[in-house]
Amino acid sequence: MRMPYQRRRWELPDGDFLDVDEGQAEPGSPTLVVLHGLESSSRSSQVVGLLRAASRCRWRGVGVNFRSCSGTLNRLRRSYHAGDTADLAWVIQQVIAEHPGSAILCAGFSLGGNVLLKYLEEQADTVPRHLRAAVAISTPFDLAVSVRAIERGLSRVYMRRLLRGLTRKTLAKLERFPDLVDRRALCAVRTIAEFDALVTAPVHGFPSAAAYWAASSSGTALSRIARPTLLINAQDDPFFPGEALPRESVARNAYLSAEFPKAGGHMGFISGRSPGGATFWAVERAIHFLRDQLPPQDPRTASQTNHASRPTDPSP
C-alpha cells in the first residue's frame, strides 16, 4: 500500500522548522499525530505502519520529524531531546488551527513516547479538548535507567548505531556553530551517557546529564495524566528493564492502561507476516485503543476496521 502523504515544512516561532508527513482525509476526520524514536524519522517502519493503519480508518495522519531528523539539519544550535514537549504542543495547536473540527489522537515510539507522556503530564490541566487519547510504545520511562541498560550486552550494538547518527549530526552543526562542543571530545564519545553529558545537556540548558535525565523522564509524573493513555512496553525490552516498568503508577491512575507483554523487544512486537511485510501487534493494539476512545456515533470511527478482530497478546 503506497502512502499518499505530503511532506510539509512547518515554520516554528523560534526560526526553526519541523518537517512532517501529512495524509489527507475528509473534513472533520480524526487526526493521528505520531512521534518517532531517537535518531529515527517519520519514515521508520513503526511510524509508517501506524500511519497506514490510520489511513485504513480514514483518519488523517501526521508523522512528525523531530528537529534534524527529516534528512535536513535544523537551523538552530539546539536540536531535540527526550523531554522537549514544546514542539509537540505547537504541532497540536497547528493541527487544531488547520482542522478545528478534528479529534486528535497521539502516539509515540520510544523517545517519542517519552515526549508524549511528558507533554500530557506538563499540560494536564490545559490539554486541548480536541486531544482524546494517546499511546506510548517502548517508552524509556526513566532515562537514567535506560541509559544504563543500553550500555549492556547486545544493546551496545544499537547504542553504537545511535551514536554514529548523533555524532554525525553534531559534527555537521560544528560547521555552522564552531563553539557548540569540543570536536576532539565529541569524537572520543563512546556511550549515550557521554554524549548526553557533552552535547545534549549543555546545548539544551541542563547543568549535567543526570539533571537532564531527571528532568526529562516521564515516569515521575504519570499520575498527572488526564487523558485515556495506553502504555505498551515489552518486559524484555533491551532499552528498558521489565522490573522498572511503572506498574504502580498505572494502578493509581484510572486514565492509564498498560500492556506489558513478556516478549516484544524494543519496538518489535512482530505478530505475523503479510504480502506487504511484517505486521506489528503494538500497532494493531494502538489503533484499537485509540478508536475506542472516539465517539461511537461518529461514522468515521466505524469505518473499515469494524470487522477486525482485537489483537492478541504476543506473550508466550
Annotated catalytic residue within 110, 146, 218, 271: 110
CA–chain centroid gap for 252, Å, is 24
- CA angle 54/57/58 to nearest 5° reads 90
Annotated catalytic residue within 21, 204, 237, 271: 237
Which stretch of DSSP H or E encloses residue 23? strand 17-23
Dist CA 122 CA 204 (whole Å): 18
Nearest to 232 by CA among 139, 112, 97, 151: 139
Check the CA dihedral 240-245-249-254 and report its sign.
Answer: positive
Is 130 a residue of the active site?
Answer: no
Cβ-contact 248, 219 below 8 angstroms: no
**Cell numbers given for 184:** 576532539
Phi, psi of 114, rounded to the nearest 5 degrees: -65, -45
Task: Please spell the DSSP secondary structure of 164-222, one letter per residue.
Answer: HHHHHHHHHHHHH-TTSS-HHHHHH--SHHHHIIIIIHHHTT-SSHHHHHHHH-GGGSG
Annotated catalytic residue within 36, 81, 204, 266: 266
Cβ-contact 256, 250 below 8 angstroms: yes
Using only C-alpha atoms, the chain has a radius of gyration, in whole angstroms, of 19
Is 110 a residue of the active site?
Answer: yes
Look up residue 100 and give its DSSP letter.
T
Would you please indicate which residues are annotated as catalytic (active-site) residues?
Answer: 110, 237, 266
